[in-house]
Structure 1
Amino acid sequence: MRLYSMPSSGNSYKVRLLLALTGRACDLVDVEDASDAMARAKSAQALPFGKAPVLHLDDGRMLPESNAILNWLGEGTDFVPDDPFQRAQMLSWMFWEQNQHEGVIAVRASLRTYPSRAHLATPERMAELLARGHDLLGVMQTRLAEHDWLATDEVSLADICLYAYTHTAGSRGGFDMKRFPAVNAWIDRIAALPGYVGLDG
Protein backbone atom coordinates (compact mmCIF):
# COMPACT_ATOMS: atom_id res chain seq x y z
CA MET A 1 0.00 0.00 0.00
CA ARG A 2 0.99 3.62 -0.43
CA LEU A 3 -0.19 6.49 1.77
CA TYR A 4 -0.14 10.05 0.50
CA SER A 5 0.35 11.84 3.79
CA MET A 6 0.70 15.47 4.84
CA PRO A 7 3.35 15.29 7.59
CA SER A 8 2.06 18.20 9.68
CA SER A 9 -1.61 17.20 9.43
CA GLY A 10 -3.43 15.43 12.25
CA ASN A 11 -5.72 13.79 9.72
CA SER A 12 -2.74 12.16 8.01
CA TYR A 13 -1.09 11.40 11.35
CA LYS A 14 -4.04 9.41 12.65
CA VAL A 15 -3.63 7.01 9.70
CA ARG A 16 0.13 6.73 10.22
CA LEU A 17 -0.50 6.05 13.92
CA LEU A 18 -2.96 3.24 13.25
CA LEU A 19 -0.59 1.71 10.70
CA ALA A 20 2.14 1.71 13.35
CA LEU A 21 -0.11 0.32 16.09
CA THR A 22 -1.26 -2.53 13.86
CA GLY A 23 2.13 -3.22 12.29
CA ARG A 24 0.86 -2.71 8.73
CA ALA A 25 3.49 -2.08 6.05
CA CYS A 26 2.90 0.98 3.88
CA ASP A 27 4.99 3.24 1.69
CA LEU A 28 4.66 6.91 2.61
CA VAL A 29 4.58 9.77 0.13
CA ASP A 30 4.94 13.11 1.90
CA VAL A 31 2.79 15.84 0.38
CA GLU A 32 3.12 18.83 2.68
CA ASP A 33 0.76 21.77 2.30
CA ALA A 34 1.65 24.08 -0.62
CA SER A 35 4.68 21.93 -1.57
CA ASP A 36 5.81 20.82 -5.01
CA ALA A 37 5.05 17.25 -3.94
CA MET A 38 1.45 18.20 -3.22
CA ALA A 39 1.16 19.89 -6.62
CA ARG A 40 2.58 16.81 -8.36
CA ALA A 41 0.20 14.51 -6.50
CA LYS A 42 -2.77 16.63 -7.54
CA SER A 43 -1.56 16.76 -11.13
CA ALA A 44 -1.20 12.98 -11.15
CA GLN A 45 -4.77 12.65 -9.80
CA ALA A 46 -3.44 10.76 -6.79
CA LEU A 47 -5.68 12.80 -4.45
CA PRO A 48 -9.33 12.28 -5.46
CA PHE A 49 -10.63 15.05 -3.17
CA GLY A 50 -7.60 17.28 -3.69
CA LYS A 51 -6.15 16.69 -0.23
CA ALA A 52 -4.29 14.15 1.91
CA PRO A 53 -4.48 11.56 3.28
CA VAL A 54 -5.26 9.09 0.53
CA LEU A 55 -4.51 5.38 0.81
CA HIS A 56 -3.62 3.67 -2.48
CA LEU A 57 -4.32 -0.05 -2.23
CA ASP A 58 -2.21 -2.70 -3.91
CA ASP A 59 -4.95 -3.36 -6.46
CA GLY A 60 -4.99 0.27 -7.60
CA ARG A 61 -8.05 1.46 -5.70
CA MET A 62 -7.78 4.76 -3.83
CA LEU A 63 -9.40 5.53 -0.49
CA PRO A 64 -9.52 9.20 0.62
CA GLU A 65 -10.68 10.72 3.93
CA SER A 66 -8.86 9.91 7.14
CA ASN A 67 -11.71 8.33 9.09
CA ALA A 68 -12.76 6.17 6.14
CA ILE A 69 -9.17 4.95 5.93
CA LEU A 70 -9.18 4.23 9.67
CA ASN A 71 -12.33 2.15 9.30
CA TRP A 72 -10.85 0.16 6.41
CA LEU A 73 -7.54 -0.46 8.18
CA GLY A 74 -9.29 -1.23 11.45
CA GLU A 75 -11.39 -4.10 10.09
CA GLY A 76 -10.57 -7.30 11.94
CA THR A 77 -8.40 -5.58 14.56
CA ASP A 78 -8.94 -5.00 18.26
CA PHE A 79 -9.52 -1.32 17.51
CA VAL A 80 -13.04 -2.08 16.18
CA PRO A 81 -15.55 -3.53 18.67
CA ASP A 82 -17.38 -6.74 17.77
CA ASP A 83 -20.66 -5.54 19.25
CA PRO A 84 -22.75 -3.54 16.72
CA PHE A 85 -23.87 -0.94 19.24
CA GLN A 86 -20.33 -0.39 20.47
CA ARG A 87 -19.19 0.03 16.86
CA ALA A 88 -21.90 2.64 16.44
CA GLN A 89 -20.70 4.39 19.60
CA MET A 90 -17.19 4.41 18.14
CA LEU A 91 -18.48 5.89 14.89
CA SER A 92 -20.45 8.57 16.74
CA TRP A 93 -17.24 9.89 18.27
CA MET A 94 -15.53 9.75 14.88
CA PHE A 95 -18.36 11.67 13.21
CA TRP A 96 -18.22 14.19 16.07
CA GLU A 97 -14.49 14.58 15.52
CA GLN A 98 -14.95 15.64 11.89
CA ASN A 99 -18.18 17.57 12.40
CA GLN A 100 -17.26 19.48 15.57
CA HIS A 101 -13.80 18.89 17.02
CA GLU A 102 -11.58 19.09 13.92
CA GLY A 103 -13.22 22.25 12.63
CA VAL A 104 -12.25 24.09 15.83
CA ILE A 105 -9.21 22.43 17.44
CA ALA A 106 -7.40 21.81 14.16
CA VAL A 107 -8.45 25.09 12.57
CA ARG A 108 -7.11 27.19 15.45
CA ALA A 109 -3.83 25.28 15.30
CA SER A 110 -3.60 25.79 11.55
CA LEU A 111 -4.12 29.54 11.86
CA ARG A 112 -1.23 29.66 14.34
CA THR A 113 1.00 27.25 12.37
CA TYR A 114 0.76 27.95 8.64
CA PRO A 115 1.95 31.37 7.43
CA SER A 116 -0.41 31.21 4.45
CA ARG A 117 -3.37 31.24 6.85
CA ALA A 118 -2.13 33.84 9.31
CA HIS A 119 -4.24 36.58 7.74
CA LEU A 120 -7.35 34.69 8.83
CA ALA A 121 -6.28 34.70 12.48
CA THR A 122 -8.16 37.83 13.54
CA PRO A 123 -8.43 38.40 17.32
CA GLU A 124 -12.17 37.83 17.14
CA ARG A 125 -11.83 34.56 15.24
CA MET A 126 -9.10 33.24 17.52
CA ALA A 127 -11.09 34.10 20.65
CA GLU A 128 -14.17 32.40 19.24
CA LEU A 129 -12.20 29.26 18.39
CA LEU A 130 -10.55 29.24 21.82
CA ALA A 131 -13.85 29.39 23.67
CA ARG A 132 -15.49 26.80 21.44
CA GLY A 133 -12.46 24.52 21.65
CA HIS A 134 -12.48 24.58 25.43
CA ASP A 135 -16.15 23.57 25.32
CA LEU A 136 -15.36 20.65 23.02
CA LEU A 137 -12.42 19.51 25.12
CA GLY A 138 -14.81 19.68 28.05
CA VAL A 139 -17.04 17.11 26.34
CA MET A 140 -14.07 14.76 26.19
CA GLN A 141 -13.13 15.59 29.78
CA THR A 142 -16.62 14.63 31.00
CA ARG A 143 -16.44 11.24 29.32
CA LEU A 144 -12.82 10.50 30.22
CA ALA A 145 -13.25 11.51 33.85
CA GLU A 146 -15.23 8.29 34.29
CA HIS A 147 -13.83 6.04 31.53
CA ASP A 148 -10.35 5.19 30.25
CA TRP A 149 -11.46 5.32 26.61
CA LEU A 150 -13.96 7.34 24.60
CA ALA A 151 -16.35 4.85 23.03
CA THR A 152 -16.12 1.62 25.02
CA ASP A 153 -14.09 0.05 27.82
CA GLU A 154 -11.26 -0.66 25.38
CA VAL A 155 -9.20 1.53 23.07
CA SER A 156 -10.86 1.91 19.67
CA LEU A 157 -10.60 3.86 16.43
CA ALA A 158 -12.45 6.69 18.19
CA ASP A 159 -9.44 7.22 20.46
CA ILE A 160 -6.94 7.11 17.59
CA CYS A 161 -9.11 9.50 15.61
CA LEU A 162 -9.48 12.11 18.35
CA TYR A 163 -5.94 11.80 19.65
CA ALA A 164 -4.46 13.23 16.45
CA TYR A 165 -5.46 16.86 17.03
CA THR A 166 -6.13 16.70 20.77
CA HIS A 167 -2.59 15.79 21.80
CA THR A 168 -1.24 19.00 20.22
CA ALA A 169 -4.17 21.20 21.20
CA GLY A 170 -2.03 22.96 23.78
CA SER A 171 1.25 23.29 21.91
CA ARG A 172 -0.16 24.07 18.48
CA GLY A 173 -3.63 25.38 19.22
CA GLY A 174 -2.93 27.38 22.35
CA PHE A 175 -5.67 25.71 24.38
CA ASP A 176 -5.35 25.55 28.18
CA MET A 177 -4.90 21.82 28.65
CA LYS A 178 -4.42 22.15 32.42
CA ARG A 179 -8.19 22.42 32.57
CA PHE A 180 -8.60 18.85 31.28
CA PRO A 181 -6.67 16.39 33.49
CA ALA A 182 -8.64 13.34 32.34
CA VAL A 183 -7.92 14.22 28.71
CA ASN A 184 -4.22 14.53 29.53
CA ALA A 185 -4.24 11.11 31.24
CA TRP A 186 -5.94 9.65 28.15
CA ILE A 187 -3.26 11.23 25.93
CA ASP A 188 -0.62 9.49 28.06
CA ARG A 189 -2.43 6.15 27.75
CA ILE A 190 -2.41 6.33 23.97
CA ALA A 191 1.26 7.32 23.88
CA ALA A 192 2.00 4.19 25.94
CA LEU A 193 0.35 1.80 23.45
CA PRO A 194 2.75 -0.77 21.90
CA GLY A 195 3.95 0.40 18.50
CA TYR A 196 3.09 4.05 19.13
CA VAL A 197 4.75 6.70 16.96
CA GLY A 198 4.49 10.44 17.45
CA LEU A 199 3.47 13.09 14.92
CA ASP A 200 7.08 13.40 13.75
CA GLY A 201 7.83 9.70 14.06
Structure 2
Amino acid sequence: MKIYGDHQSGNCYKIQLLTSLLNIPYEWIEINIKNRETQTESFLQLNPNGKIPILVLDDGRVISESNAILHFLAEGSHLLPNDPFLKAMVLQWQFFEQYSHEPYIAVARFIQHYLSIPEERRLEYESKQLGGHKALKVLEFQLQKSPFLVGDYFTIADISLFAYTHVAHQGGFDLTSYPNIRRWINRIQTMDSFQPMKAD
Protein backbone atom coordinates (compact mmCIF):
# COMPACT_ATOMS: atom_id res chain seq x y z
CA MET A 1 0.00 0.00 0.00
CA LYS A 2 1.03 3.63 -0.50
CA ILE A 3 0.79 6.60 1.85
CA TYR A 4 0.86 10.08 0.36
CA GLY A 5 1.96 12.71 2.85
CA ASP A 6 4.23 15.55 3.96
CA HIS A 7 6.72 14.42 6.60
CA GLN A 8 6.29 17.69 8.53
CA SER A 9 2.50 17.36 8.76
CA GLY A 10 1.13 16.15 12.09
CA ASN A 11 -1.82 14.51 10.36
CA CYS A 12 0.57 12.52 8.16
CA TYR A 13 2.86 11.76 11.09
CA LYS A 14 -0.05 10.02 12.84
CA ILE A 15 0.00 7.38 10.12
CA GLN A 16 3.79 7.04 10.17
CA LEU A 17 3.75 6.52 13.94
CA LEU A 18 0.97 3.93 13.80
CA THR A 19 2.63 1.93 11.02
CA SER A 20 5.88 1.95 12.99
CA LEU A 21 4.23 0.75 16.21
CA LEU A 22 2.34 -2.02 14.38
CA ASN A 23 5.20 -2.84 11.99
CA ILE A 24 3.03 -2.31 8.89
CA PRO A 25 4.99 -2.06 5.61
CA TYR A 26 4.13 0.67 3.10
CA GLU A 27 5.54 2.90 0.39
CA TRP A 28 5.82 6.57 1.35
CA ILE A 29 5.19 9.18 -1.35
CA GLU A 30 6.27 12.66 -0.26
CA ILE A 31 3.88 15.48 -1.15
CA ASN A 32 5.01 19.10 -0.77
CA ILE A 33 2.01 21.13 0.31
CA LYS A 34 3.88 24.46 0.02
CA ASN A 35 4.35 23.69 -3.68
CA ARG A 36 0.61 22.95 -3.98
CA GLU A 37 1.25 19.35 -4.96
CA THR A 38 -2.11 18.39 -3.42
CA GLN A 39 -3.83 20.51 -6.08
CA THR A 40 -2.46 18.74 -9.14
CA GLU A 41 -4.89 16.93 -11.40
CA SER A 42 -3.31 13.55 -10.62
CA PHE A 43 -3.59 14.06 -6.86
CA LEU A 44 -7.16 15.36 -7.06
CA GLN A 45 -8.08 12.15 -8.86
CA LEU A 46 -7.10 10.33 -5.67
CA ASN A 47 -8.62 12.83 -3.23
CA PRO A 48 -10.90 15.52 -4.68
CA ASN A 49 -10.63 17.36 -1.35
CA GLY A 50 -6.97 18.03 -2.12
CA LYS A 51 -5.63 17.12 1.32
CA ILE A 52 -3.14 14.70 2.81
CA PRO A 53 -2.64 12.09 4.09
CA ILE A 54 -4.25 9.52 1.86
CA LEU A 55 -3.85 5.75 1.94
CA VAL A 56 -3.99 3.86 -1.35
CA LEU A 57 -4.55 0.13 -0.87
CA ASP A 58 -3.06 -2.58 -3.05
CA ASP A 59 -6.33 -2.88 -4.97
CA GLY A 60 -6.46 0.87 -5.66
CA ARG A 61 -9.09 1.84 -3.09
CA VAL A 62 -8.36 5.14 -1.35
CA ILE A 63 -8.94 6.28 2.24
CA SER A 64 -8.53 9.92 3.22
CA GLU A 65 -8.74 11.73 6.58
CA SER A 66 -6.01 10.82 9.05
CA ASN A 67 -8.23 9.47 11.81
CA ALA A 68 -10.19 7.28 9.39
CA ILE A 69 -6.88 5.84 8.18
CA LEU A 70 -5.85 5.17 11.78
CA HIS A 71 -9.07 3.23 12.40
CA PHE A 72 -8.62 1.16 9.27
CA LEU A 73 -5.01 0.25 10.02
CA ALA A 74 -5.54 -0.35 13.75
CA GLU A 75 -8.58 -2.62 13.33
CA GLY A 76 -7.97 -5.89 15.19
CA SER A 77 -4.88 -4.58 16.99
CA HIS A 78 -4.29 -3.65 20.64
CA LEU A 79 -4.45 0.04 19.66
CA LEU A 80 -8.21 -0.03 19.06
CA PRO A 81 -10.42 -1.45 21.84
CA ASN A 82 -13.17 -3.96 21.10
CA ASP A 83 -15.37 -2.75 23.94
CA PRO A 84 -18.06 -0.45 22.46
CA PHE A 85 -17.76 2.16 25.22
CA LEU A 86 -13.97 2.33 24.99
CA LYS A 87 -14.15 2.49 21.21
CA ALA A 88 -16.58 5.41 21.57
CA MET A 89 -14.09 7.10 23.89
CA VAL A 90 -11.41 6.74 21.21
CA LEU A 91 -13.76 8.43 18.73
CA GLN A 92 -14.66 11.10 21.28
CA TRP A 93 -11.00 12.13 21.60
CA GLN A 94 -10.47 12.00 17.85
CA PHE A 95 -13.45 14.28 17.24
CA PHE A 96 -12.07 16.57 19.95
CA GLU A 97 -8.73 16.58 18.12
CA GLN A 98 -10.31 17.57 14.83
CA TYR A 99 -12.69 20.22 16.16
CA SER A 100 -11.15 21.65 19.34
CA HIS A 101 -7.40 20.97 19.09
CA GLU A 102 -6.14 20.81 15.49
CA PRO A 103 -7.84 24.03 14.28
CA TYR A 104 -5.83 25.99 16.86
CA ILE A 105 -2.57 24.19 17.58
CA ALA A 106 -1.95 22.82 14.09
CA VAL A 107 -2.92 26.05 12.34
CA ALA A 108 -0.74 28.16 14.65
CA ARG A 109 2.12 25.73 13.98
CA PHE A 110 1.56 25.98 10.22
CA ILE A 111 1.67 29.78 10.34
CA GLN A 112 4.82 29.82 12.49
CA HIS A 113 6.70 26.72 11.36
CA TYR A 114 5.85 26.66 7.65
CA LEU A 115 5.26 30.36 6.93
CA SER A 116 7.41 32.13 9.60
CA ILE A 117 4.39 34.23 10.69
CA PRO A 118 3.87 36.59 7.74
CA GLU A 119 2.49 39.94 8.83
CA GLU A 120 -0.83 39.35 7.03
CA ARG A 121 -1.44 36.27 9.20
CA ARG A 122 -0.13 37.56 12.54
CA LEU A 123 -3.56 38.39 13.95
CA GLU A 124 -4.85 34.97 12.92
CA TYR A 125 -1.83 33.36 14.59
CA GLU A 126 -2.40 35.28 17.82
CA SER A 127 -6.11 34.44 17.77
CA LYS A 128 -5.28 30.70 17.81
CA GLN A 129 -3.46 30.86 21.14
CA LEU A 130 -6.52 31.03 23.40
CA GLY A 131 -8.28 28.07 21.77
CA GLY A 132 -5.06 26.07 21.74
CA HIS A 133 -4.50 26.53 25.45
CA LYS A 134 -8.14 25.62 26.13
CA ALA A 135 -7.57 22.30 24.32
CA LEU A 136 -4.31 21.70 26.20
CA LYS A 137 -6.10 22.25 29.51
CA VAL A 138 -8.66 19.57 28.57
CA LEU A 139 -5.82 17.14 27.81
CA GLU A 140 -4.01 18.05 31.02
CA PHE A 141 -7.17 17.40 33.05
CA GLN A 142 -7.65 13.93 31.56
CA LEU A 143 -3.99 12.97 31.85
CA GLN A 144 -4.06 13.91 35.52
CA LYS A 145 -6.55 11.06 35.97
CA SER A 146 -5.06 8.38 33.69
CA PRO A 147 -1.74 7.68 31.94
CA PHE A 148 -3.41 7.66 28.51
CA LEU A 149 -6.50 9.31 27.09
CA VAL A 150 -8.68 6.20 27.26
CA GLY A 151 -7.56 4.98 30.68
CA ASP A 152 -4.56 2.74 31.24
CA TYR A 153 -4.03 1.66 27.65
CA PHE A 154 -2.38 3.43 24.73
CA THR A 155 -4.74 3.72 21.74
CA ILE A 156 -5.03 5.54 18.45
CA ALA A 157 -6.68 8.35 20.42
CA ASP A 158 -3.27 9.07 21.91
CA ILE A 159 -1.65 8.94 18.48
CA SER A 160 -4.19 11.45 17.15
CA LEU A 161 -3.53 13.96 19.94
CA PHE A 162 0.20 13.30 20.28
CA ALA A 163 0.97 14.27 16.68
CA TYR A 164 0.43 18.00 17.05
CA THR A 165 0.71 18.29 20.84
CA HIS A 166 4.34 17.17 21.00
CA VAL A 167 5.31 19.91 18.52
CA ALA A 168 2.93 22.52 19.96
CA HIS A 169 5.92 24.74 20.82
CA GLN A 170 6.39 25.21 17.06
CA GLY A 171 3.06 27.05 17.15
CA GLY A 172 3.95 29.21 20.14
CA PHE A 173 2.49 26.97 22.87
CA ASP A 174 4.71 26.56 25.93
CA LEU A 175 4.02 23.19 27.63
CA THR A 176 5.88 24.10 30.83
CA SER A 177 2.65 24.54 32.78
CA TYR A 178 1.25 21.18 31.57
CA PRO A 179 3.25 18.57 33.51
CA ASN A 180 0.88 15.69 32.82
CA ILE A 181 1.01 16.34 29.09
CA ARG A 182 4.80 16.39 29.22
CA ARG A 183 4.89 13.07 31.08
CA TRP A 184 2.44 11.60 28.54
CA ILE A 185 4.64 12.77 25.67
CA ASN A 186 7.67 11.15 27.29
CA ARG A 187 5.67 7.96 27.90
CA ILE A 188 4.92 7.70 24.19
CA GLN A 189 8.39 8.68 23.01
CA THR A 190 10.00 5.90 25.05
CA MET A 191 7.79 3.14 23.64
CA ASP A 192 9.31 0.30 21.64
CA SER A 193 9.19 0.99 17.88
CA PHE A 194 8.45 4.69 18.45
CA GLN A 195 9.23 6.72 15.33
CA PRO A 196 9.94 10.42 15.77
CA MET A 197 8.66 13.03 13.37
CA LYS A 198 11.30 13.74 10.74
CA ALA A 199 13.04 17.08 10.94
CA ASP A 200 13.24 19.46 7.98
Which TM-score band applies after superposition, normalised by the shorter structure? over 0.9
The answer to whether the 8 A contact 2:38-2:50 is kept is: no
Deviation string 1:15-35 (CA, Å, 9 cap, x unpaired) is 111000000000000002133
The answer as to whether partners of 1:47 and 1:54 remain within 8 angstroms in 2 is yes
Q: Which residue of 1 aligns with 2:147?
A: 148
CA contact (8 A) 1:141 1:183 kept: yes
Aligned to 1:102: 102
Match of 1:197 in 2: 195
The residue number in structure 2 matching 1:19 is: 19
Are the aligned partners of 2:3 and 2:55 in contact in 1 as well (CA < 8 Å)? yes
* Residues 1-201 of structure 1: pairs in structure 2 closer than 5 A: 1-35=1-35, 37-38=37-38, 40=40, 42-43=42-43, 45-115=45-115, 118-122=118-122, 124-170=123-169, 172-200=170-198
Offset, 1:189: 0.7
| TM-score, reference length from structure 1 | 0.92
Aligned partner of 2:14: which letter? Answer: K
Displacement of 1:51? 1.1
The number of equivalent residue pairs is: 199
What is the Cα deviation at residue 39 of structure 1?
5.0
Is the contact made by 1:7 and 1:30 (CA closer than 8 Å) also made in structure 2? yes
Where structure 2 has 5 or more consecutive residues not aligned to the other structure, the ranges are: none
Residues 100-137 of structure 1 show CA distances to partners (whole Å, capped at 9, x for unaligned) of 10000000011112239735422x43332112211110
2: CA distance, partners of 1:178 / 1:116: 23
Please give the alpha-carbon distance, in whole angstroms, between the structure 2 residues aligned to 1:30 and 1:71. Answer: 22
Relative to 1, partners in 2 of residues 1:58 and 1:116: Cα closer, same or farther, differing over 3 Å? farther
Task: Say which SS state the counterpart of residue 145 (structure 1) adopts.
Answer: helix
The Cα shift of 1:46 comes to 2.8
- Given that residues 37 and 43 in structure 2 are in contact (C-alpha distance below 8 angstroms), is that contact kept between their aligned partners in structure 1? no
TM-score w.r.t. the length of structure 2 is 0.93
What is the identity percentage for the equivalent residue pairs of Structure 1 and Structure 2?
A: 36
- Root-mean-square deviation (Å): 1.8
C-alpha separation in 1, matches of 2:35 and 2:125: 26
Matched residue SS, 2:33: coil
After TM superposition, give the deviation of residue 38 of structure 1 in Å.
4.1
